[in-house]
């Protein structure tokens, strides 16, 4: 029998369902798989093999593994994948495909008919299709490939036999136990059209993958399949149209000229930051005098437009006198006002006002202040430093300077990354598939709807306020979606060329730090979420490599140049091998006895 899985040595274990054959018939068991520090994402769109099998005692006659309708899942402990339906393939079918479900990937293997053995995942699958399949490939604009395939009638008949074996297990036919009824009796009771329909669908799925592998195609969308001939005794014919990953022609992407050179913060910037911190800790004290720049005025504001009614603009609002605001002149109009006075001024709504009807319109603004308060700033001393979490004023200045240096580094890094990516996109040539552009548009719209929902109004109310339809927004955002789609393709190609990979440790660390993991611990069971995270990490590493930050040491050095402090990477513990000693066993025993007596 296939052994049960052993206890994994790590908290995350991968369990693989395996089908095998011995003298007693088909068996289904689990084989524990450990990845350890193996690079699990080279190209996130490709499946890679696991590093080792634990207690793998499968016999040589393992010649088929197939898990149907089971999405790969992340397993945090050894647990059996339930509800698996194993499809057994007969030896005479030739080189059947083997599919194994593991965590976030599906690994595809093939075996030779004689002798039958399991190929290592590190070996490439043969770039040919079985003799029972004949096909042609036609490439069309838009990175579209049209596959026309014909499958032998004999293979179609065997697929119908397999479909019958599945259905007869659940058939209720008088005089026969489930699974024991002859096919003729089954077809007389239930008909046979569904058997051939299932056989056709199964063969389309199998042979489509065989052709994609043999032709080295990289589909990025589900194929559109049309079965043109499905008749008993005749070959199966179908056409599959699929969008594939387009070829990317890179330019001289390294000639971007961008460098990460953060400017150390000046003392004036440090003092301005500390002054802003004091402002945020200021207390308000009511005064009986006209408002001066910097005072806080508690005020009611109304706006009047001759040809329309405008709702109250503000009630008991706290506005800083003299401060530039969204409506030009509004903050300045409060300077000189005393509590209880009124004042009216002519101002204009900005051109980007949230309400479309007010954009650029002139209005009469009326102010009625009820209180004028001055700010009382805390003294700049050690006590103030302690209120913000440091020991004294010197430590405060040091901490502020360090934060500004880190901010300068990240700003310089972002600028260099933007320039490098812009140059890579401008120098690359690629035909963008429409499906990728539409996918990016969907992401943009989903993000917008989520932000609108957080603010309160419905998406329909937002569209009414913006005076736009969803189609108009999509049209406006299409250039951005095209740039994002091109960025994905170009960065993927650069990552392949530069051999940028993501290790299992990196993926696990970023998954643990992700806000998504805190909000929904089950989220990273999804292969799509893991793949998206892996792609994000790889893209960041690719861009960092382009701008010279492809190692932690390079990043730390850039931060130091900006005047910041960084923690050194902890050294790995060294294994200390004791020098050879002349001590004897008897001598050690005597010393041990002496110590015990003491």
Rounded to 5°, the CA angle 34-37-40 comes to 80
Report the pLDDT value the prediction gives residue 586, as an integer from 0 to 100. 61
Q: In this structure, how many other beta carbons lie within 10 angstroms of the beta carbon of residue 246?
A: 20
- Range with lowest mean pLDDT among 366-370, 498-502, 504-508: 504-508
Q: pLDDT tens digits for 554-571?
A: 888 889 888 888 876 655
For the segment 496-509, the average pLDDT, to the nearest whole number, is 87
Whether the per-residue pLDDT at 145 is higher than 90: the answer is yes
Structure-token match 């598939």, residue found: 433
Please give the residue that has the higher pLDDT: either 79 or 225. 225
Please give the residue that has the higher pLDDT: either 203 or 453. 203
Q: Can you tell me the distance from the alpha carbon of 6 to that of 128, in angstroms, rounded to the nearest whole number? A: 38
Report the pLDDT value the prediction gives residue 55, as an integer from 0 to 100. 28
- Report the range out of 358-367, 476-485, 499-508 with the highest average pLDDT: 476-485
Residue 463 pLDDT level (bands cut at 50, 70, 90): confident
Q: In this structure, how many other beta carbons lie within 10 angstroms of the beta carbon of residue 197?
A: 14
- Report the range out of 31-40, 83-92, 492-501, 586-595 with the highest average pLDDT: 492-501
Whether the per-residue pLDDT at 581 is higher than 70: the answer is no
Phi/psi for 557 (5° steps) reads -65, -40
Please give the residue that has the higher pLDDT: either 290 or 40. 290
Contact 9, 26 (CB under 8 A): no
Instruction: Copy the structure tokens of residue 205.
Output: 């799925």
* Summary count for the chain: helices (H), strands (E): 15, 16
Bridge partner residues of 240 (DSSP): 147, 225
Report the pLDDT value the prediction gives residue 571, as an integer from 0 to 100. 58
Whether the per-residue pLDDT at 92 is higher than 50: the answer is no
Whether the per-residue pLDDT at 447 is higher than 50: the answer is yes
Whether the per-residue pLDDT at 392 is higher than 60: the answer is yes
Report the pLDDT value the prediction gives residue 413, as an integer from 0 to 100. 92
Q: What is the pTM of this model?
A: 0.63
For the segment 512-532, the average pLDDT, to the nearest whole number, is 78
Q: pLDDT tens digits for 93-137?
A: 333 333 333 333 333 333 333 333 333 333 344 568 889 999 999
Q: Can you tell me the distance from the alpha carbon of 294 to that of 308, in angstroms, rounded to the nearest whole number? A: 34
Report the pLDDT value the prediction gives residue 505, as an integer from 0 to 100. 84
For the segment 249-273, the average pLDDT, to the nearest whole number, is 92
Whether the per-residue pLDDT at 3 is higher than 70: the answer is no
Residue 417 pLDDT level (bands cut at 50, 70, 90): very high
Q: pLDDT tens digits for 191-237?
A: 999 999 999 999 999 999 999 999 999 898 899 999 999 999 999 99
Report the pLDDT value the prediction gives residue 117, as an integer from 0 to 100. 31
The radius of gyration of the chain from alpha carbons, rounded to an integer in Å, stands at 35
- Range with lowest mean pLDDT among 168-172, 455-459, 491-495: 455-459
Q: pLDDT tens digits for 228-253?
A: 999 999 999 999 999 999 999 999 99
Report the pLDDT value the prediction gives residue 595, as an integer from 0 to 100. 57
Whether the per-residue pLDDT at 21 is higher than 90: the answer is no
For the segment 538-543, the average pLDDT, to the nearest whole number, is 92
Distances (CA, A) of 272 to 240, 390, 401: 65, 18, 11
Q: pLDDT tens digits for 32-60?
A: 333 333 333 333 333 333 322 222 323 32
The domains located in the chain, with CATH, are: 14-110 (no CATH), 133-243 (3.30.70.1050), 283-376 (3.10.50.40), 393-546 (1.10.3120)
Report the pLDDT value the prediction gives residue 74, as an integer from 0 to 100. 34
Residue 588 pLDDT level (bands cut at 50, 70, 90): low
């Amino acid at each position: 029998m296939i052994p049960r899985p052993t206890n994994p040595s790590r908290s995350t274990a991968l369990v693989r369902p395996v089908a095998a054959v011995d003298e007693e018939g088909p068996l289904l068991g689990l084989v524990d798989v450990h990845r350890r520090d193996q690079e699990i994402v080279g190209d996130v769109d490709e499946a890679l093999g696991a590093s080792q099998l634990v207690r793998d005692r499968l016999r040589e006659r393992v010649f088929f593994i197939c898990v149907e309708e089971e999405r790969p899942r992340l397993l945090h402990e050894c647990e059996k994948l339930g509800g698996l339906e194993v499809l057994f393939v007969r030896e005479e079918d030739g080189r059947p495909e083997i599919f194994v479900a593991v965590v976030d990937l599906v690994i595809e293997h093939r075996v030779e008919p004689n002798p039958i053995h399991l190929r290592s995942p590190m070996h490439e699958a043969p770039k040919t299709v079985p003799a029972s399949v004949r096909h042609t490939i036609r490439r069309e604009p838009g990175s579209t490939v049209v596959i026309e395939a014909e499958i032998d009638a004999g293979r179609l008949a065997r697929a119908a036999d397999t479909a019958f074996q599945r259905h007869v297990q659940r058939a209720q036919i008088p005089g026969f136990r489930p699974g024991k009824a002859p096919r003729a009796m089954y077809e007389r009771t239930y008909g046979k059209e569904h058997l051939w329909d299932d056989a056709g669908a199964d063969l389309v799925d199998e042979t489509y993958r065989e052709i994609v592998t043999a032709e080295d195609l990289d589909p990025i969308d589900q194929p559109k399949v049309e079965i043109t001939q499905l008749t008993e005794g005749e070959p199966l014919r179908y056409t599959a149209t699929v969008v594939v990953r387009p070829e990317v022609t890179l330019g001289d992407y390294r000639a971007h000229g961008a460098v990460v050179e953060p400017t150390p913060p000046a003392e004036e910037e440090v003092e301005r930051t500390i002054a802003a911190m004091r402002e945020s800790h200021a207390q308000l004290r009511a005064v009986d005098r006209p408002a001066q720049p910097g005072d806080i005025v508690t005020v009611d504001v109304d706006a009047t437009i001759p040809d329309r009614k405008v709702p109250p603009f503000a009630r008991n609002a706290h506005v800083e006198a003299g401060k530039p605001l969204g409506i030009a002149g509004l903050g300045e109009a409060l300077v000189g006002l005393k509590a209880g006075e009124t004042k009216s001024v002519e101002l204009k709504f900005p051109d980007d006002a949230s309400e479309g009807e007010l954009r650029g319109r002139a209005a009469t603004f009326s102010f009625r202040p009820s209180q004028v308060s001055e700010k009382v700033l805390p003294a700049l001393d050690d006590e103030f430093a302690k209120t913000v979490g440091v020991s004294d004023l010197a430590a405060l200045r040091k901490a502020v300077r360090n934060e500004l240096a880190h901010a300068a580094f990240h700003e310089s890094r972002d600028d260099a990354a933007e320039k490098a990516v812009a140059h890579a996109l401008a120098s690359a040539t690629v035909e963008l598939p429409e499906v990728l552009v539409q996918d990016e548009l969907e992401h943009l719209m989903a993000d917008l709807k989520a932000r609108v929902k957080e603010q309160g109004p419905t998406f329909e109310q937002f569209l009414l306020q913006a005076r736009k339809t969803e189609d108009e927004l999509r049209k406006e955002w299409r250039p951005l979606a095209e740039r994002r789609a091109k960025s994905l393709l170009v960065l993927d190609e650069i990552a392949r060329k530069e051999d940028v990979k993501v290790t299992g440790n990196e993926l696990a660390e970023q998954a643990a730090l992700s806000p998504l993991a805190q909000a929904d611990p089950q989220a990273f069971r999804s292969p799509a979420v893991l793949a998206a995270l892996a792609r994000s990490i790889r893209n960041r590493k690719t861009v960092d490599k382009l701008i010279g930050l492809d190692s932690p040491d390079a990043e730390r050095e850039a931060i130091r140049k900006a005047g910041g402090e960084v923690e050194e990477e902890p050294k790995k513990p060294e294994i200390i091998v004791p020098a050879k000693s002349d001590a004897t066993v008897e001598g050690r025993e005597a010393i041990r006895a002496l110590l015990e007596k003491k």
